[in-house]
């Protein structure tokens, strides 16, 4: 039996596979992707005899389950649309699964009994946001007697701020645009509501060299409204952080219809505006050699022994110049690696579907944060009265 399966040979998948191999435990990793080109590139960059690669269509559930069967844990580093089929394949293979994607939590939670019966643990949304952000909200609530607000500000930004969008791609541009189109579910005055993406603009200040960023609503809470939303008295939301000016650019593109995924007829041919935009911007928005910054601040406010208290978690991470891991890849991939190791080591006995804020509480939260710090991802924490 092999130790780990990693599904997706893109940037995130490669970082995860290499970290699992370099852990010093002699782990073997199978890397799967539908693209033999991506697999060849990953094999070349990782360069380990403990890595095997295989072309796999994850939407072919029977074939995918058979490919996963001889593994202890699988990790999904896939586009959002491929995440759910990967979970189904893992359950069919009776293999525990750690997923970077956390959207549609109700749909994933509905698989709880099926996963439990198969004897596997499914952990959706185990990246940075969702992932670290969820764990911090859960930990802050755990430290309070009554929670009033849970506020998440998070974003990946380039070190080099340049037009046309004051942004560079740190993951799939398609995923960035999708986040700008989905309505966001939040808790407002204790009620679950939906708000328009790219709304709720506010300025957030960080120490130099970052300075002032703009934050706006996106649909990033994932499972939090489902798992803890009912225990928050006032507000729970996530806002994406970008350099000032980015929001105005994206609103203009959206209002002009350039983010639409509905085809339009041009010269007798069907053209998808968003596909054209991605093609035109792909090279212009490629991350420069200066790298990226992951910026996150989480504030959990409420009462402790009758007194107001605010728990603040802050993470700022940069490109690792030695490994060339981007900040986004590090902060997204490392939590999934740690969760997978804990499952493989029988440290997480739960079975079924469990979200990060449910699994990593108390000592487990502290263990996760300590392990991330050892990998160079340091979360700062303070309490304000």
216-233 pLDDT, tens per residue? 999 999 999 999 999 999
Name the segment(s) of the chain with CATH classification 3.40.50.720: 2-127+329-384
Work out the burial of residue 137: count CB atoms within 10 Å of its CB; fewer than 13 is exposed, 13-18 middle, 19 or more buried. buried
pTM for the structure as a whole = 0.94
1 pLDDT higher than 80? no
Name the segment(s) of the chain with CATH classification 3.30.360.10: 132-325
Q: Which two tokens stand for residue 48?
A: 């380990």
Identify the band that residue 66 occupies on the pLDDT scale cut at 50, 70 and 90: very high
Asked if 136 and 300 count as a contact pair (C-beta separation under 8 A), the reply is yes
Identify the band that residue 126 occupies on the pLDDT scale cut at 50, 70 and 90: very high
Return the CATH number of 2-127+329-384, one of 3.10.20.30, 3.40.50.720, 1.20.1560.10, 3.90.1150.10: 3.40.50.720
- As a whole number, the mean pLDDT across the chain is 95
- The average pLDDT across 23-47 equals 94
171 pLDDT higher than 80? no
For the ranges 9-23, 59-73, 75-89, 156-170, the lowest mean pLDDT is seen at: 156-170
Q: Which two tokens stand for residue 129?
A: 């946001």
Cα gap 81→99, rounded to integer Å: 12
194-217: pLDDT as tens digits: 999 999 999 999 998 899 999 999
107 pLDDT higher than 80? yes
Q: Which two tokens stand for residue 310?
A: 């605010």
> H/E element holding 181?
none
132-325 — its CATH code?
A: 3.30.360.10
φ, ψ for residue 240 (rounded to 5)?
-80, 140
């Amino acid at each position: 039996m092999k130790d780990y399966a990693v599904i997706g040979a893109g940037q995130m998948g490669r970082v995860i596979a290499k970290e699992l191999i370099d852990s010093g435990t002699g782990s073997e990793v199978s890397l799967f992707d539908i693209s033999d080109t991506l697999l060849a590139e990953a094999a070349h960059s990782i360069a380990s005899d403990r890595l095997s690669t295989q072309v796999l269509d994850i939407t072919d559930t029977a074939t995918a389950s058979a490919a996963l069967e001889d593994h202890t844990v699988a990790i999904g580093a896939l586009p959002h649309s491929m995440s759910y089929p990967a979970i189904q394949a893992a359950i069919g293979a009776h293999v525990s699964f750690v997923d970077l994607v956390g959207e549609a939590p109700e749909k994933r939670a509905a698989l709880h009994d099926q996963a439990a019966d198969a004897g596997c643990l499914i952990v959706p949304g185990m990246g940075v946001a969702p992932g670290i952000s969820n764990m911090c909200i859960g930990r802050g609530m755990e430290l309070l007697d009554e929670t009033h607000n849970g506020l998440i500000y998070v974003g990946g930004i380039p070190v080099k701020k340049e037009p046309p969008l004051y942004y560079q791609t740190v993951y799939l541009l398609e995923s960035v645009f999708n986040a700008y189109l989905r309505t966001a579910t939040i808790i407002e005055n204790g009620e679950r509501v939906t708000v328009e993406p790219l709304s709720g603009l506010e300025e957030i200040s960080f120490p130099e060299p970052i300075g002032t960023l703009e934050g706006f609503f996106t649909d990033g809470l994932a499972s939090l409204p489902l798992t803890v939303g009912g225990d928050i008295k006032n507000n729970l939301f996530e806002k994406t952080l970008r350099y000032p000016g980015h929001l105005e650019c994206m609103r203009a593109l959206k209002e002009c219809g350039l983010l639409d995924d509905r085809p339009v007829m041009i010269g007798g041919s069907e053209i998808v505006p968003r596909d054209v935009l991605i093609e035109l911007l792909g090279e212009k928005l490629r991350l420069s050699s200066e790298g990226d910054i992951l910026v996150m601040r989480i504030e959990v406010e409420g009462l402790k022994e009758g007194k107001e208290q605010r728990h603040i978690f802050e993470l700022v991470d940069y490109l690792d110049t030695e490994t060339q891991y981007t900040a986004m890849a590090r902060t997204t991939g490392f939590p999934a690696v740690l969760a997978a190791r804990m499952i493989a080591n029988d440290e997480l006995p739960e079975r079924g579907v469990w979200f990060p804020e449910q699994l990593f509480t108390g000592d487990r939260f502290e263990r996760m944060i300590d392990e991330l710090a050892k990998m160079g991802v340091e979360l700062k924490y303070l309490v304000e009265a």
